[in-house]
A and B are shown apart, each in its own frame.
Chain A
């Protein structure tokens, strides 16, 4: 009996080992004529492919449809990162795992912290307002959603271009030209937002998701409240939801926003209570599988956001 059991265990171990070998054998041999660039989030992916063009194969670690704040890389992801020529991450607050991991990888790809040069805001908006007049480097947890301020996005694009140039100096002019062209598009988008939102009678918008639009709100002089804190895993509290309903009523708001890839239940509840309508405000952390297959772009998502913001703020 004991021998049979040992035999069975050995068979199971062998089968498992064979399965691993089979997966490795089936993986196609990568063609490394182009640079391989691994990005962590969708906006970085979109920026990187705009800048790199056909000189690099750009991929995104976060699978489409997955909520990014709780993402942890799997062993396969770590292998991809180790084999990449360039790795681009958002910042240490969005991907806390990235800083530690990238230090330990022996292969040492070129690493781009896309937030270099960006002035970050605090994750707690009340604390941010309280310390707004103070200078210097703010302490505490920061709001990681820097890409939603398009001036920051331009800095991120530049950082990506610098990383590509560091790895592939021969194509410096190509990357520089692409980065400049994309920065122009972002600047144009920024102007559209400035023009579109400056005369809106409502200056506050409410969001049933997590706190992601602080940068956008600050840039365009808007007030913004969300049901959840920066991390969407935090449960909305009853007091917060009641406060949002009160804000909706006191400001005469007819629209409440929900976000991509998270439950719209909170926004729908607020809408039902106040007779409002739910609109999408896309934080562009990630896109659904359908949108990814359709190759939606960061710019198109932001333009749709502008349409929905203008509707919600009752802009002329």
Chain B
């Protein structure tokens, strides 16, 4: 209880860290449900890594163009990393989504290739940067413990924007995700709504990667949505449940990490995995009539 009091205290040392974790925990599942609905689960694997590569490319630009970036902890370095992350994420997601719709062959293969090539490219870029790795590794893997007020502000602003847009246009986004043919028939601007959704996904993933790193971003993108999927009766419930699971686990994971002297990110992901496993077992035991009906859009 003492630990909980400490954590909930407004002047808690790591308040920025916990606020960011919970924000990411709430926001990532909101876009994760769309990845699940659109059967783009593997994109949730590849995107955080691609975003991380965008950070590596952005931080390599000074070397390529002959100027020096200021110290790692400065706002400009973080904005640079954010710009690289989001640019690369958006480009990748739009290309992958386009190929998904138009291309032949195995989408999983494309996504798997994108993931492994991005990971390798990050390593190569790091190895060739004459300014060395100062702070890069932290930016590539996320720095949830040392979130500054600026980073918290940037994360909050970006994710709030994502949540607001998702909330405002959720019907349109659901329609084009669930029933594309119907959307076309109803003359909805399918390409526009698709593009908007991918922009929102890209923004969320970029911000999450910079704050908490690719591993945790992926965990929060998919596992809460997978868990909620076992019990949700409709899309609204699905979304809310996934977001709630993400936010609560982010908070609980932080508490556990603080109490048992563990790193936050891996604790969150293992906790998510444990909850998903338990939920899966419960879903098998509870009678089908009450819970296991497929979800339906409102």
Contact = CB atoms under 8 A, between A and B. Distances in A.
- A, B in one complex: yes
Interface of A: 63-67, 74, 233-242, 245, 261-266, 268-269, 273, 288-289
B73 A241 contact: no
Contacts of B264: 235, 237-238
Nearest to B12: A242
For the complex of A and B, the 6 pairs showing the least CB-CB separation, nearest first, are: A65-B132, A265-B146, A235-B263, A263-B135, A239-B261, A263-B138
5 contacts: A238-B254, A242-B13, A263-B146, A269-B146, A269-B148
Interface in B258-279: 258-265
Given A238-B17, A240-B261, A263 B132 contact: no
A261 B263 contact: no
Contact of B259 (A74, A233, A236, A239): A239
Contacts of A236: 145-146, 263
Nearest to A240: B261
Contact of A273 (B13, B134, B257, B258): B13
Interface residues of B, number: 30
B64 to A, nearest CB: 16
Interface-central residue, A235, A238, A245, A261, by most chain B CB under 10 Å: A238
A77 to B, nearest CB: 11
Given A236-B145, A242-B13, A268-B73, A263 B261 contact: no
Contact of B132 (A242, A264, A268, A289): A289
A74 B148 CA distance: 36
Contacts of A261: 132-134
A133 B14 CA distance: 38
Interface string B277-297: 000000000000000000000
Given A235-B263, A237-B257, A262 B13 contact: no
A266 B145 contact: yes
Interface of B: 13-14, 17, 71-73, 127, 129-135, 137-138, 143, 145-146, 148, 254, 257-265
A241 B145 contact: yes
A242 B145 contact: no
A237 B261 contact: yes
Contacts of A262: 134-135, 138
A264 B261 contact: no
B148 to A, nearest CB: 8
A129 B3 CA distance: 28
Given A264-B72, A273-B13, A238 B134 contact: no
Contacts of A245: 13
Contacts of A242: 13-14, 258
A266 B148 CA distance: 10
A269 B260 CA distance: 21
A265 B258 contact: no
Nearest to A267: B146
Given A263-B143, A264-B73, A239 B258 contact: yes
Contacts of B265: 235
Contact of A265 (B13, B143, B261): B143
A263 B132 CA distance: 12
Contacts of B132: 63-67, 261, 288-289
Contacts of A234: 263
A233 B137 CA distance: 9
Contacts of A288: 132, 134
A237 B259 CA distance: 10
Nearest to B17: A238
Contact of B146 (A65, A240, A266): A266
Nearest to A272: B148
A235 B71 CA distance: 21
A263 B17 contact: no
Contacts of A240: 261
Contacts of B145: 235-238, 241, 266, 269
A238 B172 CA distance: 41
A241 B135 contact: no
B77 to A, nearest CB: 10
Contacts of B134: 65, 261-263, 288
A238 B73 CA distance: 19
A289 B131 contact: yes
A245 B257 CA distance: 17
A289 B263 contact: no
Contacts of B258: 237-239, 242
Contacts of A241: 13-14, 145
Contacts of A266: 145-146
Nearest to B14: A238
B14 A65 contact: no
A176 B74 CA distance: 48
A265 B75 CA distance: 12
Contacts of B260: 239
A197 B14 CA distance: 33
Given A235-B263, A261-B133, A268 B254 contact: no
Given A63-B132, A239-B261, 5 more contacts: A236-B145, A237-B262, A264-B71, A264-B73, A265-B148
B7 to A, nearest CB: 9
B257 A238 contact: yes
Given A238-B17, A238-B257, A242-B13, A268 B133 contact: no
Contacts of A268: 73, 146
